[in-house]
Structure 1
Amino acid sequence: MDEEVTTESRKETEVAPALIAVHPTGHHIAVAVGPELRIFNLLNNSAVSLLDESISGENHFHKDNIRAIRFGAKGKLFVSAGDDKTLKIWSSETWHCIATVSSEKRVTAVAISKDGLHVCFADKFGLVWVVDLNQTSIDKKPKPLLSHYCSIITSLEFSPDNRFIISADRDFKIRVSNFPKNPLNGAHEIQSFCLGHTEFVSCLAFVPALESPHSLLLSGSGDSTVRLWDISSGALLDTCEVAVKAGLLESSGNAEEHGHAVTDLCATLDGLLVAVAIQRQVSCYGDTFVPTCLANSPPTRELWMVTGVSSLPGYDYPSLARVLVISGIDAEQEPVVLGDDKIPGGIKLLETLQGTAAVDDNAFLVAAEAVKAAMCNLLIKKNYPFENREYRKKTRNDRKLKE
């Protein structure tokens, strides 16, 4: 009984960071806060109405925190997934839910193949699943693709040529797997491992490589670094001490000590610039903006970012979100932070993505600390004494009971 109460109270205080995604053409902006999915259409300058009839003919949206959102490379698909153990696949043309896929564990990351034929998602137990969109049935069944052996998977990416699927985890590893022609049979061939981070890997992003036949991989981590990799060999090409470059540290440190974990990465289309979000306040939006997610809009050369959380203990706000846009993301221009009246979509967009309620600025500072604490609890691996480890092994319950 005590264990159930402890688990329930921990669940009540758990928060999830706000997420943002931009359509490849820049026509739609999506923000996820808690279980809410908010979409704005810049072409029509209006909020998008979602329709989910994928289960029993009734509206069944997410019932718990959304942990991952993603547009497909061709822009026709959008996926959302999270703590309610469901992945929803949406048509970004009609914004109808095409399918709802059930997961045995909470979903932590998603990816869509470049040809738009497969959706992959990862769970907290370290498994990656694949959904074949060629299946005619609405009730699409996921198949296991690969495993990281009990390590929480934090990020998934397909390589631009669709040859590889890259998965990163809490145990500092980045795995490059060959994506097979028939992924429903599993991805058993590993191309390389990219090893070098000393804390959890939080995010992945590709950048074009002018002198390489394929793009290069960037990774961000709780060790306050961004690293550049050749995925064909797993070779580490360069390391950037982000916190040091930003003047936050005199020497490199880990996330537990300094709290400067890299939380997201975003590269420009030409690969000349990379935006990095770290767990630190930035002065471009007063003194309270701590970005939780980044998204690039190549057609307009704008960088979109969001800060916020699903819920905040001690505050009456069901969810917090604030959107910021920087224009002129170009190596030859000086970036400019857009005021609310200059943001594409203007106040109407902000009301859709942020909500209409006025929020105390101090709440965003508290929210930033809540996100930092939640990330540490989730991703920084705890070291247990030997006797505790043995007890946990004997009492673990990680198999779902089948009725």
Structure 2
Amino acid sequence: MEETPVEEGDTNKDVEVAPALIALHPTENSVAVAVGSDLRVFDLVGNCAVFLVDESGVPYHKDSIRTICYGSKGQLFVSAGDDKTVKIWSTESWRCIYNVVSEKRVSAAAISSNGLHVCFADKFGVIWVVDLDGGVDGNQPLVSKKAMSLLSHYCSIITSLKFSLDGRFLVSADRDFKIRVTTFPTKPVNEAHEIQSFCLGHTDFVSCIAFISNLECSHGFLISGSGDSTVRLWDILCGSLLDTCDIGDKVELLDSKEREGCHSAVTSLCTIADGALVAVAVQSLHGIILLNCDLSNHTLSVVKVVSISEETFIPTSLSTSCSTGYLWMVTGVSSLHNLGHSSLARVKVMSGFNKDNYTANDVSVVEDDAIPGETKLLEKLQGGVTFDDKVFLAAAEAVKTAMSNLLTKKQYSMEKRDFRKRTRNDRKLKQ
């Protein structure tokens, strides 16, 4: 993707939006959706909406949530974003048990495999670690914690953060096409980290990463999606690229006009059926792409494009669990100009995934009245508000523009660089 110059002072506040996010409990006990500053959780076991308990005295979040995730054991849940606040919740009581203030806006978060640490990244490229004092008590009073800096990507926005399956490595991806693999210390506050490898090969921002489990490889294999319209498979121990699947070339998703506009970026991905299948969400695609991951031969290949009948549904986030064959999807955006409402979300579910069925012929979209939780779940996660198709199409376009503005590096002439330096906000404050 070519970098395009931007005129000085060129900003567009109307497109500074955050996409809707979805996260599923590891054993599908609950599902959470974040859209704007709203955090909505539904208890799938009790078939009821969850009431969040936050004793901080302020709304759960005061600005757009940019990252949500469950821990691998399902006991912890983290939400964070543009309000520079990281909230750590107990999924047993859905009480906020730790509150962490960040120096910068938060762009990604991850929970260690043993549940003893939470890491988060800010938009300045710094990764911070929070020590949870040896465990979790869902009934403990709210505790304010201070994060310690762990490592840095040096002024590059970190887009995704994941722990390896065995907890040995912390993997971070950024907008400068890099994926960094770092050994995670046993005591990260007191011990130094080491760089294990760099996974280099993407030609545009890395938007999302995930791990694929393998019995012969305890840490798992890494897959990554990018603005260069590819999904790649990596060996993180040495940083070697095992295979590349070009989404744009192998599947006719977009017309030539949209290709030229670089709107075929991978926005979200997750593994299904023990990693045999990978679901991929792409900008402008009304559905998902299913990839077959053959770890024995280290290959990725397109299996099927699963379309959604509603042309206004373009997934912004995907999530699944190891306990069922459901794939959960959400589309939406934090806010739109002249919309008059800050919450816009639509949830859908796909079923029929089977690790032994690589043709994925049985995959289909579940009707609203047949998904777990049915109407009560949709009312909770979608906010009980309905919008017409034009609004969701506008939301998809807004997400495209916002993602491009945030993650595509801009190039300036020397004259414009000098102008930007002279008019920097920190310079103005000092004067």
Superposition TM-score, scaled by structure 2 size: 0.86
What is the total number of aligned residue pairs between the two structures?
Answer: 392
Equivalence for 1:182: 187
- Does the 8 A contact of 1:297 with 1:304 survive in 2? no
Whole-Å separation in 2 of the counterparts to 1:188 and 1:151: 19
Whole-Å separation in 2 of the counterparts to 1:29 and 1:213: 27
Equivalence for 1:347: 375
The 10-residue stretch of structure 1 (207-216 or 227-236) with the greater mean CA deviation from structure 2: 207-216
Write the deviation string for residues 89-108 of structure 1: whole angstroms up to 9, x where unpaired: 00000001001100010000
What is the deviation of 1:250?
A: 9.2
Asked if residue 328 in structure 1 is aligned to residue 346 in structure 2, the reply is no
- Does the 8 A contact of 1:68 with 1:108 survive in 2? yes
Q: Which one of 374, 384, 393 corresponds to residue 365 of structure 1?
A: 393
What is the deviation of 1:187?
A: 4.7
What is the deviation of 1:135?
A: 7.2
Q: Which has the higher contact order (CA 8 A, sep 6+)?
A: 2
Whole-Å separation in 1 of the counterparts to 2:26 and 2:390: 34
Cα root mean square deviation, aligned: 2.4
- Does the 8 A contact of 2:116 with 2:134 survive in 1? no
Is there any run of 5+ residues in structure 1 with no aligned partner, and where? Answer: 1-5
Q: Which one of 245, 262, 267 corresponds to residue 263 of structure 1?
A: 267
Write the deviation string for residues 303-337 of structure 1: whole angstroms up to 9, x where unpaired: 00000001111322321100010012214251121
Partner SS, residue 392 of structure 2: helix
What is the deviation of 1:268?
A: 1.7
Change (3 A) 1:119 1:213: closer
Equivalence for 2:31: 29
Equivalence for 1:16: 18
What is the deviation of 1:284?
A: 1.1
What is the deviation of 1:255?
A: 7.5
Whole-Å separation in 1 of the counterparts to 2:124 and 2:21: 22
Change (3 A) 1:187 1:291: farther
Whole-Å separation in 2 of the counterparts to 1:249 and 1:211: 38
What is the deviation of 1:112?
A: 0.2
- Does the 8 A contact of 2:15 with 2:401 survive in 1? no
What is the deviation of 1:281?
A: 3.0
**What amino acid maps onto 1:51 in structure 2?**
V
Equivalence for 1:307: 331
Asked if residue 272 in structure 1 is aligned to residue 296 in structure 2, the reply is no
Asked if residue 230 in structure 1 is aligned to residue 235 in structure 2, the reply is yes
1 or 2, which has the higher strand percentage? 2
Change (3 A) 1:187 1:171: farther
Whole-Å separation in 1 of the counterparts to 2:174 and 2:227: 11
**What amino acid maps onto 1:373 in structure 2?**
T
Equivalence for 1:93: 92
Partner SS, residue 367 of structure 1: helix
Write the deviation string for residues 224-260 of structure 1: whole angstroms up to 9, x where unpaired: 0000000000000000001222213699x99873300
Equivalence for 2:105: 106
Asked if residue 214 in structure 1 is aligned to residue 213 in structure 2, the reply is no
Write the deviation string for residues 125-154 of structure 1: whole angstroms up to 9, x where unpaired: 000000000179912110000000000000
Superposition TM-score, scaled by structure 1 size: 0.92
Change (3 A) 1:125 1:296: same
Is there any run of 5+ residues in structure 2 with no aligned partner, and where? Answer: 1-8, 136-141, 287-306
Q: Which one of 162, 166, 169 corresponds to residue 167 of structure 2?
A: 162
Write the deviation string for residues 52-97 of structure 1: whole angstroms up to 9, x where unpaired: 00x3xx2431000000000000100000000000000000000010
Whole-Å separation in 1 of the counterparts to 2:170 and 2:426: 26
Identity of aligned residues (%): 61
Change (3 A) 1:36 1:235: same
Equivalence for 1:197: 202
Equivalence for 1:132: 131
Partner SS, residue 108 of structure 1: strand
**What amino acid maps onto 2:270 in structure 1?**
C
Whole-Å separation in 2 of the counterparts to 1:199 and 1:255: 14
What is the deviation of 1:184?
A: 1.3
Equivalence for 1:64: 63
Whole-Å separation in 2 of the counterparts to 1:397 and 1:157: 33
Equivalence for 2:49: 47
Whole-Å separation in 2 of the counterparts to 1:86 and 1:10: 25
Whole-Å separation in 1 of the counterparts to 2:118 and 2:144: 14
**What amino acid maps onto 2:50 in structure 1?**
V
Partner SS, residue 121 of structure 1: strand
Whole-Å separation in 2 of the counterparts to 1:250 and 1:232: 38
Whole-Å separation in 2 of the counterparts to 1:199 and 1:131: 30
**What amino acid maps onto 1:367 in structure 2?**
A
**What amino acid maps onto 1:159 in structure 2?**
S
